[in-house]
Every structure is written in structure tokens, then in C-alpha cells.
Amino acid sequence: MNAYLIEQMQPDDWPFVRSIYLEGIATGNATFETEAPSREEWNASHLVSVRLVARDEDRLIGWAALSEVSRRQVYSGVAEVSVYVAHDSRGKGVGRALLEQLIAESEQNGIWTLQASVFPENVATIALHRACGFREVGRRERISKLNGSWRDTILLERRSKSGGSD
């Protein structure tokens, strides 16, 4: 049984969300970002309806959230996935628990397609997404630079089994 709880993110969680995000940035294989955004910037870029955290007693050990891929109405059911786990909690099923709950809640909120853009070197994250029903739809070569070096990303997608097929 897991010793952690998955629940809705609260405003007071921001310092811990930011700290875990910075750990991801430090790996060099989690995001193109090199700095954590402000609380206001983060809030503006993530959907309010699906924001989760994993707690181990009083400590936040991971988070997951969705972002719009487009403001166009035709893409209102398509969202990008972010899942981050604290360094000392990786490999313990926290990411999978967060992603599975994120999938369930996305479907309850009318999201029919989830996508993730992952560096090919981030093998564990690719495996996690595949284990949760994502499929690789392509490789975006030299899509952007990180610290002066061109990087590729793997584009993964998951279609809802309960919606978006009518």
C-alpha cells in the first residue's frame, strides 16, 4: 500500500510545487525551462480544473497538472501533461499514481486527448507514459535549444476511452 495520498493542489502548495519543479529543471532532461515561473505565471499557464499533488504525511512529494495546447475552441479537449516527482521519491510509483489520477480527472473534465513532450533521454518518463496508455506519435527533431544545445523531444499522446469519439 502506498504511504502517500493524491489530492487536489492547494494555493499553499506553491512553494513545494516550485521546489520540485526546480529539481526537475536541474536534471536537464525534464523541461526546456531554466527557471521556475512565478506563481502567477504558473497559474495562468495551467488549467484550474486538474491540478494534483502527492503527499507523504505533511510533505509534498510530487505534482501533476494540465496545460492548454491551444486557445482555439476546437482544441478545448486537448491538454498537455506535466508530472514532477521529488528527487528522493522517484521510482516509488508516485509518478504513476499522479498520472493515473490525472487521466481520470481529465476525462471527468471533458479532456479527450492528453499529450506529453519528453526528451528522449528521459527514458523513465517515456516508460511511465506508455504504461499509462500513451503512444509515441513522433519525434520532434531540434525543436528548441536548452542551454545552447539543440534538443529533440518525443511526442506522446493518449486518447480518452470515454470521450471525444462521437
Q: Characterize the bridge pairing of strands 113-118 and 149-159.
A: antiparallel
Residues forming beta bridges with residue 80, ordered by sequence position: 67, 115
Cα dist from 35 to 19, 26, 115, whole Å: 11, 9, 23
Instruction: For residue 94, give its domain range.
Output: 5-159
What pLDDT does 57 receive? 85
Question: Has residue 166 been placed in a domain?
Answer: no
Q: Residues of the chain whose pLDDT is less than 50?
A: 165-166
Question: Has residue 70 been placed in a domain?
Answer: yes
Question: Has residue 66 been placed in a domain?
Answer: yes
CATH number at 9 reads 3.40.630.30
What pLDDT does 2 receive? 65
What pLDDT does 3 receive? 81
Crossing angle for the helix pair 123-131 and 94-108, to the nearest 10 degrees: 50
Q: How many structural domains compose the chain?
A: 1
Cα dist from 28 to 43, 45, 52, 74, 139, whole Å: 23, 21, 23, 33, 18
| Nearest Cα to Cα of residue 30 among 70, 85, 92, 97 | 85
What pLDDT does 163 receive? 61
What pLDDT does 58 receive? 82
What pLDDT does 105 receive? 96
The pTM (predicted TM-score) of the whole model is 0.93
Question: Has residue 164 been placed in a domain?
Answer: no
Question: Has residue 110 been placed in a domain?
Answer: yes
Q: Characterize the bridge pairing of strands 135-146 and 113-118.
A: unpaired
DSSP letter string, 49-84: S-EEEEEETTEEEEEEEEEES-SSGGGTTEEEEEEE
Rounded to whole angstroms, how far apart are CA atoms 143 and 23? 23
